[in-house]
Amino acid sequence: MKRLTTVALHLGAHKTATSHLQQSISAARDEIGAAGVRFKGPNELRRAGHSIAEHFGLDGSAAVDVPKRLGKMLNGAHRLVLSEENFWGVLHIKGGQIPLPLYPNAIPRLAALVAALRPVPLDLFVAVRDPAAFVTGAYSQLLLAGYCPPVDQFRKANGFDLIDWADLVERIVTVTGAASVTVWRYEDYQDVLPQILALMLGIEAAHAVQPIARKVHASLSSRAVAEALAGASKTETMAEAGQRAAQARKAHPISSRNPKFDLWRGDERATSTAVYEAQLLRIENLPRVRMLRPM
Q: Does the residue 32 lie in any domain?
A: yes
CA separation for the pair 52, 44 (Å, rounded): 10
Region for residue 200 given its phi and psi (left: phi exceeds 0; alpha: psi -120 to 50; beta: otherwise): alpha
Residue 241 lies in a domain: no
Per-residue pLDDT of the chain (295 residues; tens, 9 = 90+): 457 799 999 999 999 999 999 999 999 999 999 999 999 999 999 999 899 999 999 987 778 999 999 999 999 999 999 999 999 999 998 768 999 999 999 999 999 999 999 999 999 999 999 999 999 999 999 999 999 999 999 999 999 999 999 999 999 999 988 999 999 999 999 999 999 999 999 999 999 999 998 888 889 999 999 999 998 888 899 999 999 999 999 999 999 999 999 999 999 999 999 999 999 999 999 999 999 999 9
Pairing of strands 180-185, 6-10: unpaired
The per-residue pLDDT for range 147-182, each reduced to its tens digit, is 999 999 999 999 999 999 999 999 999 998 899 999
What integer pLDDT is reported at residue 120 of this predicted model? 95
Number of domains the chain contains: 1
Instruction: Please report whether residue 37 resides in a domain.
Output: yes
pLDDT at position 1 is 40
Alpha-carbon distance of 278 to 289, in angstroms, equals: 16
For 22, the domain range is: 6-135+163-215+277-292
Asked if residue 266 is part of any domain, the answer here is no
Express each pLDDT in 107-133 by its tens digit: 999 999 999 999 999 999 999 999 999
Q: Are 75 and 5 in contact (CB under 8 A)?
A: no
Q: CATH number for the domain including 93?
A: 3.40.50
Please provide residue 6's backbone torsions phi and psi, each rounded to the nearest 5 degrees.
-135, 155
Residue 27 lies in a domain: yes
On whether residue 154 sits in a domain, the answer given is: no
Q: How far apart are CA 219 and CA 224, in angstroms?
A: 10
